[in-house]
Amino acid sequence: MDGNVRIIIKNVINMGLIDVCHGVVKEGKEAIVYHGESTSSSSPTTSSTSSSKEELTMWRNTQEEELRKDITLDVAIKVFKRISEFKTRGKYVDGDARYHGQKFNRENKRDQVELWAEKEYRNLLRANKAGVPVPTPLLQRENVLFMRFLGEDGWPSPQLREIDIKKGSKKWITLYGQIMIAVRRLYHCARLVHGDLSEYNILICPSILVENGIYSRQSSSNNEETEDAESLLQIVLIDFGQAVEIGHPASFDLLRRDLSMVNAFFKRQGVRTLEEDEAEAFVLREHDGVDHDDDDDEEEDEKKEDWEDKKEEKIEMEEKTVAPMIEVVSAIDADSTIAASSSIKEDGPEHIDTKETTELAASTAKCRDEESVEPAEESLLSDQDNEDEEDDDGAKETKKKKSTWRNIIHSWDDDKDLEMLMDMLRAKKNKKSSN
């Protein structure tokens, strides 16, 4: 642990997020994970900076209710190594819209590591908000990431490859279903693709330790209490640094690779899995009963076209109404001019009624100006009303789009996805038996 990391951890201890940092619990080629410990009864100090207070408020809000009692809270402290390994990770950042215009390979080694840590933190926040089973993100400082520790007594939860289950057991089928549902939820609710999903990046831990616990969510939806929750195990997806948005140019290829790795592992465990194209169809299938952005765009285009048609019709009506009035005024103006010129010829300049001619000309000009100005003002007012209505519609559409993501998350039903997955597996089994 270098001096800069020590300072970061010391500052976090002073903030009150953790009380002590223990030793190393896991080490990989990219990062080292330490075990930190804290009691939720020891609230963070009030002398923190404003930014720290906001992050700590978010941390408190993301914790489960039982974690706010006088119990021990374990924290995983993930320290990313400053190595040249990250130079090859530019493809995961350069195509990400969140880092548009920022070339990863042009950054120095220090900035690359910090950017990678920030990216994993942001991905975890989004996935956690979307209800995907991931470690709860708490804080990120430079190349250090603080998360909820998944394990017991300082021992981390095992990876999927480390658990000992009999080959062909139904437990493998349960875990396969949980992973497929998590990948589907990650894609639609978080708009992310993991990008490096395998048996190495999936943990098996008690559901009670996971904020988005599968069994706790099922029990809350059924208004039932889950008994012996500590004994119920579930999967948790980890290592989100390389996760990309679904709009990333390589997102589909990364999704296919993830599903291929998952299928290959479970096939080795004797599980009948979906084929790669079937797995892709399962993940990509739209969620029933939810409005998507494409539908919103179509509705907005239709409203815009209707508004433009109505505006053109109104302009045509105004032209038809104003045109006869202008002709009448022009005729009056022409008659007055003729009459004035005739009087000049007949009587001479000394017989011209200057006052009468001036009044007639002024009256004609006023009439012409009124007829030309009033429709224009009416048109401007109408346009303003239409613009206000369009602004209101635009605000409603924007608000609707912002709430679409939230609606998808709240309306998402894992039970329906599990039922759909089981139907696909049964159909595949029946097709194979009939052949």
The secondary structure of 142-207 as a DSSP string is TTEEEEE--EETTEEPPBGGG----TT-HHHHHHHHHHHHHHHHHHHTS-EE-SS-STTSEEEEEG
Which residue of the set 19, 94, 111, 196 is catalytic? 196
Catalytic-residue membership of 392 = no
Instruction: Please determine, for residue 367, whether its predicted confidence score (pLDDT) is greater than 80.
Output: no
Report the pLDDT value the prediction gives residue 393, as an integer from 0 to 100. Answer: 56
Predicted confidence (pLDDT) at residue 215 exceeds the cutoff of 50 = yes
- In angstroms, the CA 307 to CA 309 distance is 5
Q: What is the pLDDT of residue 326?
A: 57
Residue range 90-133, pLDDT digits in tens: 788 887 788 777 777 777 788 888 889 999 999 999 999 999 99
Residue 22 φ/ψ, nearest 5 degrees: -90, -160
pLDDT at residue 357 tops 60: no
pLDDT of residue 229: 52
Which of 31-45, 109-123, 199-213, 373-387 shows the lowest mean pLDDT across its residues?
373-387
Of all residues in the chain, what percent are helix, strand and coil, respectively (each to 5)? 60, 15, 25
Question: For all residues of the chain together, what is the average pLDDT?
Answer: 75
Query: Which residues make Cβ contacts (< 8 Å) with residue 353, sequence separation at least 6?
Result: none
As a whole-number percent, the residues of the chain with pLDDT over 90 amount to 38
Is the full-model pTM beyond 0.75?
A: no
pLDDT of residue 407: 74
Give pLDDT tens digits for 43-88. Answer: 444 344 445 545 555 544 554 444 444 345 799 999 998 766 666 7
Mean pLDDT (whole number) for 335-364: 51
Asked about 94 being catalytic, the answer comes back as: no
The active-site residue, picked from 74, 96, 239, 258, is: 239
Residue 358 has pLDDT above 60, yes or no: no
